[in-house]
Amino acid sequence: MGINRLQKLRSLITEHGLDALLVSQPENCRYLSGFTGSGWLLISDNHALLATDFRYVEQAREEASDFEVIRVKGELNSWLPELVSDMGWHELGFEANYVSFSSYRKLSEAIKAKELNLELIPTTGLVERLRSIKDPEELELIGKAVELTDAAFEQAKSIICPGIAEKEAVWELEKYLRQHGSEEVPFEIIVASGPNSALPHAKPTERIICSSEPVLIDMGARISGYCSDFSRTLCLGEADKNFREIYDIVLRAQSAAIQGIEAGMSAAQADELARTIIEQTGYGNAFGHGLGHGVGLAVHESPTLTSNSSDLLVDGMVFTVEPGIYIAGWGGVRIEDVVTLEKGKARVLTRSGKEWRALHA
Ligand code: ZN
């Protein structure tokens, strides 16, 4: 699994003029090595090292068979400078977003004190770029996670009825996901009703769900590390004109994006497909987040589908398409599917219907 990924990363390392790259972001480590514990990877043209402390050494040997496992103790500054100079590396890349300022400072001081010929070069997004394009095995696992959230939504339609508290509904959904094969869910499930649904990342409360108000559900499952992400908005009983109008706009915006997205397009253009429709109806300011995000080992990863994104959409990517409209004091509507770019077009992995009506009157 790891060899092909390592080869691709090695080309990037060379392209960036580095002798080696220190990988510290946990999902990046897992992606490259299979190791799910805590540690660091050091990758050069000829070497693939996994540095970890005694708690994880055995696990590392089992999970990361393509890597040479080395046991280290303490923070980076206590072992990295010597190891790197023993290897003869001078230009060491590190992940600028995943090495803390204090680690960086201690590391720099240690290099200086030891008078080593070693330069620390900040990098961003090298492994993330590789991760954004999924191989068939990854696609299959994401597909399983998506299937499980679809099944949980079927349950949701009978769990969520007038009189249940948001928190209770969340717990029932989480139980369902876990009992049907999900690992720890990738984020706290959202069931937000009435005005609470106006908060895109609402926390579940004791609020009792009523008829004729928006009920926003957002949940994900995790299978062998791979995530799904799913949102639907229901209205129990009769929906007023306001709800029907807003729901219809969000649905049209989502369909336009799914149909219009093409490989080769920028992520910003994709965002624009949905945003234009929402703006035309006067709700532009009520769509305050991006159109979507990549999904994989992390529930939010590359690409980022926002109006200021510089990402390019290419075949093999997997991401969400999730426009929403949120009105403070009233509520919100969001509809979210996971899609994959295949033969230049978006193929929708999510199967659930997009009918706001629930069974309960
Ligand atoms: Zn999402």
pLDDT digits (tens, 9 = 90+) for 82-133: 999 899 999 999 999 999 999 999 999 999 999 999 999 999 999 999 999 9
Average pLDDT, stretch 61-80? 95
* For the chain, percent of residues with pLDDT exceeding 90: 96
By the 10 Å C-beta count (0-12 exposed, 13-18 middle, 19+ buried), 104 is classed as middle
What pLDDT is stored for residue 357 in this prediction? 83
Average pLDDT, stretch 326-351? 97
What pLDDT is stored for residue 335 in this prediction? 98
What does DSSP assign to residue 109?
H
What pLDDT is stored for residue 1 in this prediction? 54
Q: In this model, does residue 3 exceed pLDDT 90?
A: no
Q: What is the pTM of this model?
A: 0.94
What's the gap in Å between 17 CA and the centre of ligand 1? 35
226-278 pLDDT, tens digit per residue, is 999 999 999 998 999 999 999 999 999 999 999 999 999 999 999 999 999 99
What's the gap in Å between 287 CA and the centre of ligand 1? 14
What's the gap in Å between 229 CA and the centre of ligand 1? 5
What's the gap in Å between 349 CA and the centre of ligand 1? 14
* For the chain, percent of residues with pLDDT exceeding 70: 98
The residue with greater pLDDT, 56 or 202, is 56
What pLDDT is stored for residue 323 in this prediction? 98
What's the gap in Å between 292 CA and the centre of ligand 1? 6
What's the gap in Å between 337 CA and the centre of ligand 1? 8
What pLDDT is stored for residue 359 in this prediction? 58
What's the gap in Å between 133 CA and the centre of ligand 1? 18
188-192 long-range Cβ contacts below 8 angstroms, 24+ apart: 189/217, 189/218, 189/219, 189/220, 190/216, 190/217, 190/218, 190/219, 190/231, 191/160, 191/166, 191/215, 191/216, 191/217, 192/166, 192/216, 192/332
What pLDDT is stored for residue 361 in this prediction? 42
What's the gap in Å between 8 CA and the centre of ligand 1? 28
Average pLDDT, stretch 144-149? 98
Cβ(81)–Cβ(118) below 8 Å: yes
What's the gap in Å between 39 CA and the centre of ligand 1? 28
What pLDDT is stored for residue 89 in this prediction? 96
Q: In this model, does residue 216 exceed pLDDT 50?
A: yes
What pLDDT is stored for residue 358 in this prediction? 67
**CB hemisphere CA count around 318 (13 angstroms):** 28
Q: Per DSSP, what are the bridge partners of residue 23?
A: 41
What's the gap in Å between 335 CA and the centre of ligand 1? 10
What pLDDT is stored for residue 2 in this prediction? 64
